[in-house]
């Protein structure tokens, strides 16, 4: 199974429409802790390759042929997601073949892990695959395709999000509801805002207040919070009120505030820890990490902090010149990789993108290091932070080169792109 980013408020793929140009221009730099009232992620930038482009100097011989017909794909998720008889929660969809989003002649399509174009570029906009479905934007409306490129939900919605736990939220008539993998509306549109299901619950907004529903659409936690984040490892970060500084704490699935509202920002919990800060009116915010009891087990000391992923978390300390440098700590708070990078992402598939810079010029390139800090892919790229974590997914990572965006494998070989 591919590691997914820890649960977060959904970033609807419709955000690509507004943010694609900015993402393609500079990417989104990872590592800075997000605010509690904004999605913990950025729109996905995608590589481009014009029809007829030739392979770049490092491109593997298996790279796809632009304009090729879609190849046959294994059977995708069932049209109706099976459910757990005890809880009613949809079971995860069967694994679908890996698909990676690309742009060709201003249209969106998909390659496989070898770089072969398996879904021809034909959509106005499109998103990544989740649970065997990808949201598409065609003719001003949102629908969904399966992993062989067949339209399974005709474009008909004003907004559309990714599938999680067998359902995706969509918006029609200004209200949000949830559809299943076959397109059936299983929770009627009735919410002013909606988010992904995680751990059997989804945050929704009614008026100005957030609560949590189950897969039947019933409120398990009535709307009463100024903001509500997704559940992760049994806890969800909420802001009870924006009065008094808008401090937040954590609730359990019953809605009980089990970690008092005291943080300027915190969460989500991953691998047993959550980044947290008390905040500071002077702007000198420092981060540490708490356990599920709300106790700081790694003291507040870092200028920036990221979630734990594969046993390590990126944090910053300032060097002698006052410049923040990223390094990686373990759950004991010990540096496994000393602070030395200008930017750093989250580990996935044993690797992470970092900006390795010159100490004097402070100009650096993007490369990839392993969990010892050893450079395994040389810092020859312009960017690798333009997509939501994880950076490596199903064996490929998106990078920006001098010629444009591309996908590379673990050896650093280009399997698609860059734009010529």
What is the percentage of the chain residues whose pLDDT exceeds 70? Answer: 73
Q: What is the b/e burial string over 193-207, where b = at least 16 CB atoms within 10 angstroms of the residue's CB?
A: ebbbbbbbbbbbbee
- Over residues 211-239, the mean pLDDT reads 98
pLDDT classification of 282: cutoffs 50, 70, 90: low
Query: Averaging pLDDT over each range in 74-83, 90-99, 303-312, 379-388, which range is the top one?
Result: 303-312
Among the residue ranges 16-30, 231-245, 255-269, 366-380, the one predicted with the least confidence is: 16-30
pLDDT above 90: residue 207: yes
pLDDT above 50: residue 21: no
Among the residue ranges 42-46, 169-173, 190-194, 311-315, the one predicted with the least confidence is: 42-46
Residue 26, pLDDT score = 32
CA distances from 366 to 19, 45, 169 (A): 22, 16, 35
DSSP string, 200-228: TEEEEEETTEEEEE-TTS-EEEEEEESEE
Preceding amide of 390 cis, omega within 30: yes
Residue 402, pLDDT score = 86
CA dihedral over 106, 109, 112, 116, signed as positive or negative: negative
pLDDT above 50: residue 407: yes
Mean pLDDT taken over the chain:
80
pLDDT above 70: residue 42: no
* 201 closest CA partner among 215, 180, 191: 215
Residue 231, pLDDT score = 98
pLDDT above 60: residue 290: yes
- Over residues 271-282, the mean pLDDT reads 84
- Over residues 172-177, the mean pLDDT reads 98
Among the residue ranges 194-203, 226-235, 239-248, 273-282, the one predicted with the least confidence is: 273-282
Cβ(287)–Cβ(316) under 8 Å?
no
C-alpha–C-alpha distance, residues 313 and 335, integer Å:
10
Residue 44, pLDDT score = 36
Among the residue ranges 117-121, 235-239, 364-368, the one predicted with the least confidence is: 364-368
Residue 280, pLDDT score = 60
Judge residue 258's burial from the number of C-beta atoms within 10 Å of its C-beta, 0-12 exposed, 13-18 middle, 19 or more buried.
middle
Residue 247: strand, helix, or coil: coil
C-alpha–C-alpha distance, residues 403 and 49, integer Å:
10
The token pair at 124 is 């106005």
What is the percentage of the chain residues whose pLDDT exceeds 90? Answer: 65
pLDDT classification of 284: cutoffs 50, 70, 90: confident
pLDDT classification of 357: cutoffs 50, 70, 90: confident
For residue 17, what is the DSSP state?
A: H
Among the residue ranges 5-14, 263-272, 339-348, the one predicted with the least confidence is: 5-14
- Over residues 112-124, the mean pLDDT reads 96
pLDDT above 80: residue 235: yes
Q: Give the model confidence (pLDDT) of 85-108 as tens digits.
A: 444 444 445 567 999 999 888 999
Residue 245, pLDDT score = 85
pLDDT above 80: residue 30: no
Residue 390: strand, helix, or coil: coil
pLDDT above 60: residue 246: yes
Residue 387, pLDDT score = 60
pLDDT above 60: residue 37: no
Residue 212, pLDDT score = 98
């Amino acid at each position: 199974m591919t590691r997914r980013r820890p649960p977060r408020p959904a970033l609807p793929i419709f955000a690509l429409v507004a943010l694609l140009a900015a993402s393609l221009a500079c990417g989104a730099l990872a590592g800075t802790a997000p605010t509690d009232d904004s999605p913990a992620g950025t729109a996905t930038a995608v590589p481009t390759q014009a029809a007829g482009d030739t392979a770049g100097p490092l491109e593997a011989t298996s790279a796809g042929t632009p304009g090729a017909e879609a190849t046959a794909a294994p059977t995708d998720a069932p049209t109706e997601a099976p459910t757990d008889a005890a809880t009613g929660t949809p079971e995860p969809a069967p694994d679908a073949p890996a698909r990676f989003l690309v742009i060709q002649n201003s249209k969106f399509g998909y390659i496989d892990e070898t770089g072969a174009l398996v879904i021809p570029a034909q959509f106005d906009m499109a998103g990544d695959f989740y649970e065997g479905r990808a949201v598409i934007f065609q003719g001003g409306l949102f629908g969904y395709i399966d992993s062989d490129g067949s339209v399974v939900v005709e474009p008909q919605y004003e907004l559309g999000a990714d599938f999680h736990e067998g359902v995706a939220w969509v918006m029609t008539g200004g209200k949000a509801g949830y559809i299943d993998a076959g397109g059936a509306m299983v929770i009627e549109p009735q919410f002013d805002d909606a988010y992904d299901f995680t751990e059997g619950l989804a945050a929704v907004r009614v008026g100005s207040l957030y609560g949590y529903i189950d897969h039947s659409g019933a409120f398990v936690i009535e709307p009463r919070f100024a903001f509500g984040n997704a559940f992760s490892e049994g806890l969800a970060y909420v802001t009870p009120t924006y009065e008094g500084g808008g401090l937040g704490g954590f609730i359990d699935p019953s809605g009980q505030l089990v970690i008092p509202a005291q943080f300027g920002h915190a969460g989500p919990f991953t691998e047993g820890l959550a980044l947290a800060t008390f905040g500071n009116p002077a702007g000198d915010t420092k981060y540490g990490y708490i356990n599920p009891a709300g106790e700081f087990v790694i003291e507040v000391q870092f200028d920036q902090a990221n979630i734990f992923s594969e046993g390590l978390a990126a944090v910053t300390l300032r060097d002698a010149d006052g410049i923040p440098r990223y390094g990686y700590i373990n759950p004991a708070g010990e540096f496994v990789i000393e602070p030395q990078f200008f930017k750093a992402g989250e580990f996935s598939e044993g690797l992470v993108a970092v900006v390795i810079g010159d100490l004097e010029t402070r100009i650096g390139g993007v490369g990839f290091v392993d969990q010892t800090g050893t450079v395994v892919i040389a810092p020859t790229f312009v960017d690798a932070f333009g997509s939501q974590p994880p950076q490596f997914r199903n064996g490929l990572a998106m990078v920006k080169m001098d010629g444009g965006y591309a996908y590379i494998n673990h050896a650093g070989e280009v399997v698609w792109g860059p734009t010529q």
